[in-house]
Structure 1
Amino acid sequence: MEPYVIALDLDGTLLKSDHTTSDFTKDVLKTLQDQGHHIVITTGRSFRISEDIYHSLSLKTPMINNNGALVHHPLDKEWEHYHQHSISLDTARKIIALQKELNLGFIGTETRHNVYVSTLDLPKSEYFPEPVNGFQLLSQPEVLPEEPISFGWFSSLEEQPIIKSYLKEHLNTSLDIRTWGGAFPCLDITPEGVHKAAGLNYLLTILNVPKERLIAFGDEDNDSEMLSFAEYGIAMKNAIPSIKAITKYETTYTNEEDGVAHYLKSFFNI
């Protein structure tokens, strides 16, 4: 069989609500990787809060982070196809200042070299790695020294429309702002035109795999372009209604029930 690219969103898709994967899921993914398929984590998370998941699955493939803004290879720091989109430093510093003015939730951002957060008092969760003493505190906008890849603005679901409106009103540039309503509701802020499908399109060229052999799984708003782009765009049973409305396929089981692994086991007859 010709190799497929299997693009996997993490939260609400591959991961259970406690941010883990079962041995069954790991076994299915290992079997497919051993058969020559490319298992590609495609997530809105930054690399530093998804690195452990990548290694726990014993993957050997490139990875897509920050909703497509970063395409890289965790096992090859000198990978020649490293690809990164960034938010301008001026715009990034304005976002930091606006968060302080609005005083809702907290923000985190990642550059190629560091992670920056507006508070070190992060929620206790498997979502955020411990310890956080390697994170830099955004005490003021000027602390950020270089262009970041993206921002995550964490808040309540009720606060998200307020934040989005505030950003659009006060920023003189276009950004893509996507909502994520998982355990820690977040607005993903990336450069305009950057999304998971763009990252996958770039990676397909590098891997020399046609779109006809792209399978993608997702459940939230930031998965929409990826699921529409893939030949096999598959909504999770637990996906939000707008995602189910744009896909032909749906898993029989939820993320809590190893929905991805069951679907792949049937699809590849393993």
Structure 2
Amino acid sequence: MNRKLISLDLDGTTLNSASQISENTKRTLQKAAAAGHIVSIVTGRSDRMAVNYYDELGLTTPMINFNGALGHLPHQDWDEAYEITFQKEIVLDILKSKASLGIELIAAEGRGLKLTDSTDSAISPFFPAASRSQEVLNRLNLTQDPSAITMLVDPAKKAEITRRLQQEYDSAVTVSVWGGAAPVLELSPKNVTKKVGLKFLANHYHIDRQDILAFGDEQNDIEMLKYAGTGIAMQNASPWIKDFANEVTALDNDHDGIAQYLTEHLDLAE
């Protein structure tokens, strides 16, 4: 069997509902890596919010963060690493209009960049509180261009905020809505999706497109699922996400859907 590139979304896919990797899934992914397949995380999460899972799986492959905007080797400098950003002036502009738009919290992130205008750690797990003055999002602290802006918004105004941000910044960024219950909007560099990161990994490892297995469950996985030789939607994915996939796992993310699929298709059974 040809060596496969296994691309893993995290939330709703590799992680169960408790945001954990089950022992069975961990063991199966490690078995796949030991068999010579390439296992890599491709997530919308920042590097700081994904590196614990990378370490837990014992990975040594590049990790893709911010939906394709960052490709790097955690814990080290790497001359092939890349980061795609957009102008920090957009962040400052939105920050200035925050109240009138209906935005409750804003965070600007990139590699080594984590600034937020929240000091309340109880508001949302996706918006870590600024515990030091250097972590507060303002003109003084924002010294580099970000790879992502995430915003917690008034749910009643989400559609209107999305429309206004698209109208204002469409040439520079893509505005997307997070899946799940939280009313979160995300701004990312224009035309950057997980497909960018997946192509980077495939080129790095000289893997043909047909030998890519990509797992996902949400809107931000669509381009990755479409690009992969085999795009695999999770059983728990929205029905319309499944329309973009070649296959659907028999089990959901709470019942080791990835592990079951890989064991069967890569002949990893003991």
> Given the alignment of the two structures, is residue 199 of structure 1 paired with residue 203 of structure 2, yes or no?
no
Name the structure 2 match of 1:179.
177
Change (3 A) 1:171 1:217: same
Name the structure 2 match of 1:14.
14
Write the distance in 2 (CA, Å) between the matches of 1:197 and 1:61.
17
Write the distance in 1 (CA, Å) between the matches of 2:68 and 2:34.
26
SS of residue in 2 equivalent to 1:234: strand
Write the distance in 1 (CA, Å) between the matches of 2:123 and 2:21.
19
CA contact (8 A) 2:86 2:172 kept: no
Give how far 1:183 is off: 5.2
Name the structure 2 match of 1:91.
90
Which residue identity does 2:238 align to in structure 1? Answer: I
Percent identity among equivalent residues? 34
Change (3 A) 1:66 1:93: same
Write the distance in 1 (CA, Å) between the matches of 2:3 and 2:154.
41
Change (3 A) 1:215 1:174: same
Write the distance in 2 (CA, Å) between the matches of 1:221 and 1:94.
27
Name the structure 2 match of 1:119.
118
SS of residue in 1 equivalent to 2:198: helix
Write the distance in 1 (CA, Å) between the matches of 2:30 and 2:127.
26
TM-score by length of 2: 0.90
- Residue correspondence of structure 1 range 89-238 to structure 2 within 5 A: 89-123=88-122, 133=131, 136-138=135-137, 140-155=138-153, 158-171=156-169, 173-182=171-180, 184-238=182-236
Greater CA drift, 213-222 or 174-183: 174-183
CA contact (8 A) 1:7 1:39 kept: yes
Change (3 A) 1:74 1:177: same
SS of residue in 2 equivalent to 1:243: helix
Q: In the comparison of the two structures, how many residue pairs are matched?
A: 267
Write the distance in 2 (CA, Å) between the matches of 1:40 and 1:265.
17
Write the distance in 2 (CA, Å) between the matches of 1:100 and 1:254.
40
Change (3 A) 1:105 1:209: same
Give how far 1:126 is off: 6.5
Write the distance in 2 (CA, Å) between the matches of 1:62 and 1:39.
9
Name the structure 2 match of 1:70.
70
Provide the alpha-carbon RMSD of the alignment: 2.2
Write the distance in 2 (CA, Å) between the matches of 1:265 and 1:127.
33
Write the distance in 1 (CA, Å) between the matches of 2:34 and 2:157.
45
Greater CA drift, 142-151 or 62-71: 142-151
CA contact (8 A) 2:47 2:111 kept: no
SS of residue in 2 equivalent to 1:25: helix
Give how far 1:234 is off: 0.5
Write the distance in 1 (CA, Å) between the matches of 2:122 and 2:214.
30
Q: Deviations over 1:33-78 (max 9, x none)?
A: 1112111111101111111111111111110000000010114x22
